[in-house]
């Protein structure tokens, strides 16, 4: 195989082994992609799943970690995968979760992320994990709330921002995986300011937007309606937006979330900033489910992911789509190119 140092190098994790993560990674491997792809997974799992799906695949197990500062990778060829071998704790059956393999899932994430930190890879692309089974098996007592928070801790970053995107819409979140009862107290002036600064900076640096236009939703119905439907806009959101506008950040709002996604509101807007998970993501996923990507902003590495879950019932059936994973790789490549 042809060796190259010039193409982008992408680390990929397959997520929950009993779900569709291995399926969509194997489907992705059939495509032509202008990058070097390295998958962190159990090679036997990939071989068995490929046989079950009727997909031809040639696996090359890499020696890892690399012994040289600059590691030469193979240009991706359809039907081939380079693999960093991480063994499953126990054999799996499609669709059947096993807490014993939670440590395997976390190990793939840790090693792939560390590879990005050490500059062996230019980006990390992740398939879906099952939060419940990881927490069920958790021996540390520290809850696993998702990739975003795990990777922030792994890279030593205090604050990150979750953003999902389709080809024609970006939605970022002020709060992520929180119960509704905790959202209003989590949206402080300091936190909102931090989120907006991260969002503005990464849109400039990683997406090449010189002056990004950010549409900000209110927290309450009708953005509080002058205080009659809540005080958070008056006490927190409006003052924070005013402060950052004085620094030249282009912020629109706060606007009522029920009209934020109309064509007129979105005209000329680069991203919609919503206050909580289900305020904006249902709209985005309705517009582009299976063709959208989850992006973590604020990390010292590039990380993208799929827009869907583990879909246990589809694992091994051949019915899963790799569209979102392919778009996640494309988006990672776009960010890599913006940085070069």
Q: What is the pLDDT of residues 51-93, one digit of tens each?
A: 999 999 999 998 877 765 445 667 889 999 999 999 999 999 9
Q: Are strands 169-173 and 161-166 parallel, antiparallel or unpaired?
A: antiparallel
Which candidate, 300, 305, 296, places its Cα nearest to that of 325?
305
Whether the domain at 1-157+299-340 and the domain at 159-297 fall into the same CATH topology: yes
Query: pLDDT tens-digit profile of 130-164?
Result: 888 877 766 555 566 678 888 988 999 999 999 99
- What local confidence, expressed as pLDDT, does residue 167 receive? 87
pLDDT of residue 133: 80
> Phi/psi at 187 (nearest 5 deg)?
-90, 85
| Mean pLDDT for the stretch of residues 231-247 | 97
159 φ/ψ angles, rounded to the nearest 5 degrees: -125, 130
Percent of the chain with pLDDT over 90: 76
Which CATH class name applies to 1-157+299-340?
A: alpha beta
State residue 136's pLDDT score.
78
Res 70: pLDDT: 45
110-144 burial, b at 16+ Cβ within 10 Å, e below that, comes to: bbbbbbbbeebbbbbbbbbbbbebbeebeeeeeeb
Instruction: Quickly list DSSP for 236-291.
Output: IIHHHHHHHHTTT-EEEEEE-TTTTTSHHHHTT-SEEEESSHHHHHHHHHHHHTTS
Please tell me the predicted confidence (pLDDT) of residue 146: 75
Instruction: Say what the pLDDT of residue 246 is.
Output: 97
* pLDDT exceeds 70 at position 1: no
For the chain, the straight-line distance linking the first and the last C-alpha, in angstroms and rounded, comes to 26
Cα–Cα distance measured from residue 129 to residue 135, given in angstroms and rounded to the nearest whole number: 11
* CATH, range 159-297: 3.40.718.10
pLDDT in tens, 303-325: 999 988 899 999 999 999 999 99
Write down the residue that tokens 């776009």 correspond to.
Answer: 334
Instruction: Report pLDDT for 116.
Output: 95
For the chain, what is the largest distance between any 2 Cα atoms, rounded to a whole number of angstroms?
A: 66
Look over the chain and give the mean of its residue pLDDT values, rounded to a whole number: 91
Is pLDDT at 31 greater than 50 in this prediction?
A: yes
Cα 20 to Cα 23: distance, rounded to the nearest angstrom: 5
pLDDT at 132: 81
* Residue burial 297-313, b: 16+ Cβ < 10 Å; e: rest: bbbebbbbbbbbebbbe
Per-residue pLDDT at 7: 87
Q: Is the pLDDT of residue 109 over 70?
A: yes
What's the whole-number mean pLDDT along residues 205-216?
95
Give the pLDDT of residue 72: 60
Average of per-residue pLDDT across 165-189: 93
Q: What does the alpha-carbon distance between residue 322 and residue 41 come to, in Å, rounded to a whole number?
A: 17
Give the model confidence (pLDDT) of 267-305 as tens digits.
999 999 999 999 999 999 888 877 889 999 999 999 999
Domain segments of the chain: what residues?
Answer: 1-157+299-340, 159-297
Using only the alpha carbons of the chain, give its radius of gyration: 21
């Amino acid at each position: 195989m042809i060796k190259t140092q010039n193409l982008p190098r992408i680390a990929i994790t397959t997520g929950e082994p009993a779900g569709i993560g291995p399926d969509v990674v194997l489907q992705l491997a059939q495509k032509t992609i202008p990058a070097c792809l390295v998958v962190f997974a159990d090679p036997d799992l990939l071989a068995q799943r490929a046989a079950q799906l009727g997909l031809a695949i040639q696996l090359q197990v890499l020696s890892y970690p690399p012994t040289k500062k600059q590691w030469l990778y193979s240009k991706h060829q359809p039907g081939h995968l380079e693999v960093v071998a991480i063994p499953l704790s126990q054999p799996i059956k499609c669709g059947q979760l096993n807490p014993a393999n939670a440590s395997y899932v976390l190990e793939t994430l840790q090693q792939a992320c560390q590879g990005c930190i050490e500059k062996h890879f230019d980006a990390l692309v992740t398939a879906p994990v099952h939060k419940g089974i990881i927490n069920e098996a958790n021996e540390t007592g520290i809850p696993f709330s998702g990739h975003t928070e795990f990777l922030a801790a792994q890279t030593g970053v205090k604050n990150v921002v979750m953003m999902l995107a389709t080809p024609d819409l970006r939605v970022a979140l002020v709060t992520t995986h929180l119960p509704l009862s905790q959202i209003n107290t989590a949206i402080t002036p300091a936190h909102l300011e931090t989120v907006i600064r991260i969002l503005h900076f990464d849109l400039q640096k990683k997406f090449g937007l010189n002056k990004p236009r950010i549409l900000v939703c209110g927290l309450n119905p009708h953005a509080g309606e002058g205080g009659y439907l809540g005080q958070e806009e008056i006490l927190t959101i409006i003052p924070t937006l005013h402060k950052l506008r004085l620094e030249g950040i282009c912020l629109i709002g706060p606007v009522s979330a029920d009209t934020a996604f109309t064509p007129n509101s979105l005209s000329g807007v680069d991203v919609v900033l919503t206050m909580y998970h289900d305020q904006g993501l249902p709209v985005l996923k309705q517009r582009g489910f299976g063709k959208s990507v989850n992006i973590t902003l604020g990390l010292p590495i590039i990380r993208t992911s799929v827009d869907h879950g583990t879909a246990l019932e589809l694992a091994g059936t051949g019915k899963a789509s790799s569209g979102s994973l392919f778009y996640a790789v494309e988006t990672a490549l776009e960010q890599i190119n913006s940085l070069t």
